[in-house]
């Protein structure tokens, strides 16, 4: 009988040193690639964490920037309001000072002149009034002419009433801002 062995037989495979070095090289390369892959994935994860932190910081800074912009807008609006208020105050100051000059020019010792109308249109001031005598009107015109508030003072008319008073009208040109005689 012939016997046939269908099982493979294992014989001691003898490997050559070149084969052993090749296997060792392949193992070393596989370990190197594995280490490199692990290093790349950990670096990627660390960079992803940094990106997430930077995005959160960017959002926070955008919110702060919006708040700063709102603050600057409110500040600008308040500064505009303050400028308008200051301009209104300075515009009020001019007529008040002009009125004080006119009142200061009225002769009051003895009282013999009073004003009935005062109208200002741009730089022209029209003054109407009454006086007991012509010298009171002349003194008033001289006092107005001596102030620095007017370029000229012109008597438009005067007339004697039945009530023994004199009715008069003056036109005065005011000195504009920044002008001086």
Give a yes or no: residue 3 inside a domain: no
In a domain, residue 161? The reply is: yes
- Contact status, residue 130 vs residue 168, Cβ threshold 8 Å: yes
Flag whether the pTM goes above 0.75: no
**Would you give the distance in Å from CA 10 to the centre of its chain?**
94
**Which of 69, 95, 121 is the endpoint of a domain?**
95
Residue 1 included in any domain: no
The counts of H helices and E strands in the chain are 2, 4
Within a domain: residue 9? no
User: 76 is in which domain, residue-wise?
Assistant: 28-95
pLDDT of residue 92: 67
Measured over the CA atoms of residue 26, residue 29, residue 35 and residue 37, the dihedral's sign is negative
Q: Is residue 163 part of a domain?
A: yes
Which pLDDT does position 56 carry in this prediction? 94
For residue 52, give the H/E element and its range.
helix 17-105
Same domain, 114 and 86: no
Of the residues 36, 63, 95, the one at which a domain ends: 95
Domains in the chain, number: 2
pLDDT at 181: 45
Identify the pLDDT of residue 94.
Answer: 66
Q: Which of the residues in the chain have pLDDT under 70?
A: 9-14, 91-94, 176-181
Whether 83 and 116 share a structural domain: no
In a domain, 60, yes or no: yes
Alpha-carbon distances, residue 28 vs 22, 23, 31 (angstroms): 10, 9, 5
User: Does 121 share its domain with 90?
Assistant: no
Last residue of a domain, one of 95, 115, 142: 95
- CA distances 77 to 83, 85, 132, Å, are 10, 12, 55
Distance CA 68, CA 97 (A): 43
Give CA torsion, residues 140, 143, 144, 145, to 10 deg: 120
Q: Does residue 85 form part of some domain?
A: yes
């Amino acid at each position: 009988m012939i016997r046939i062995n269908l099982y493979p037989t294992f014989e001691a495979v003898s490997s050559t040193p070149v084969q052993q070095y090749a296997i060792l090289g392949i193992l070393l390369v596989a370990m190197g690639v594995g280490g490199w892959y692990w290093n790349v994935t950990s670096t990627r994860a660390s960079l992803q964490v940094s990106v997430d932190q930077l995005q959160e910081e960017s959002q926070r800074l955008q919110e702060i920037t919006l708040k700063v912009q709102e603050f600057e807008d409110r500040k600008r609006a308040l500064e505009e309001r303050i400028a308008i208020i200051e301009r209104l105050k300075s515009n009020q100051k001019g007529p008040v000072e002009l009125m004080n000059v006119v009142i200061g020019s009225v002769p009051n010792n003895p009282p013999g002149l009073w004003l009935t109308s005062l109208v200002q249109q741009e730089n022209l001031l029209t003054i109407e009034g009454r006086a007991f005598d012509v010298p009171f009107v002349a003194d008033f015109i001289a006092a107005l002419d001596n102030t620095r508030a007017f370029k000229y003072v012109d008597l438009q008319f005067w007339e004697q009433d039945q009530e023994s008073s004199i009715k008069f009208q003056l036109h005065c040109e005011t000195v504009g801002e920044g002008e001086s005689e």
